[in-house]
Amino acid sequence: MFSDNNFITIRQLKLLLILDIFGMGITILPQKVVQLGGQNGWILILIGLLFSLFCLILINQVAKIYPNDNFVDYVCKILGKPLGILVSIGFIIKIIIGVAMEIRIFSEILKEIMLFNTPFWVISLSMLLIGAYMASKGYEARGRIAEILIFVVFIPLAFVFFIAVFDIDFSNLKPFFKEMTPMQALKGGAYMIFYFTGIEFIFLVYPYVKEKEKIQKASINAIIIVGIIMTIISLITIARFGKYDIIHQMWPVLEIMDTIDLPGSFIERQDALIMTFWIISIFMMINAGMFFSSLIFKDIVKIGTHTTFICICIPIVYLISFLPNNITMVYKIMNIFYITFGLFYIFILPLVLYVIAKVRGLKYENS
Evaluate whether residue 79 is within a structural domain: yes
Check pLDDT > 90 for residue 346.
yes
For the chain, the domain total comes to 1
Write the pLDDT tens digit of every residue in 83-94.
Answer: 999 999 999 999
β-sheet bridge partners, residue 36: none
Region of 264 (left: φ > 0; alpha: ψ -120 to 50; beta: rest) is left
pLDDT of 293-328, one tens digit each? Answer: 999 999 998 887 888 999 999 999 999 998 888 888
Does residue 243 form part of some domain? yes
The predicted model gives 243-254 an average pLDDT of 78
Q: For 193, what's the count of Cα atoms within 13 Å in the CB-facing half-sphere?
A: 23
More confidently predicted of 285 and 266: 285
| Residue 153 is assigned to a structural domain of this protein | yes
Q: Is 238 exposed, middle or buried (0-12, 13-18, 19+ CB in 10 A)?
A: buried
> Nearest Cα to 16, choosing from 203, 197, 142?
142
Question: For residue 45, is it within any domain?
Answer: yes
Boundaries of domain holding 184: 10-359
Cis peptide before 182 (omega within 30 of 0): no
CATH of the domain at 221: 1.20.1740.10
Query: What's phi and psi for 245, nearest 5 deg?
Result: -70, -40
Tell me which DSSP letter residue 261 carries. Answer: P
For Cα atoms 265, 271, 332, give the angle at the middle one, nearest 5 degrees: 155
pLDDT tens digits, 24-37: 667 778 888 888 88
Dihedral pair phi/psi, residue 343, rounded to 5°: -60, -40
Q: Is the pLDDT of residue 364 over 90?
A: no
Rounded to the nearest 5°, which phi and psi values hold at 112? -75, -35
Query: Is 367 a domain residue?
Result: no
More confident call, 132 vs 160: 132
1 located within any domain: no
Q: Is the pLDDT of residue 274 over 70?
A: no
**Is the distance from CB of 45 to CB of 252 less than 8 angstroms?**
no
Burial-class residue 294 by CB neighbours within 10 Å (0-12, 13-18, 19+). buried
Q: Is the pLDDT of residue 4 over 50?
A: no
The mean of the pLDDT values for the chain is 85
What is the C-alpha separation between 287 and 239, in angstroms, rounded? 34
DSSP helix/strand/coil, 210: coil
Helix (H) / strand (E) containing 284: helix 276-301
CB 91 within 8 Å of CB 296 = yes
Give domain status of residue 4, yes or no. Answer: no
pLDDT tens readout for residues 134-186: 898 888 888 888 898 888 877 777 777 777 777 777 777 777 766 677 888 88
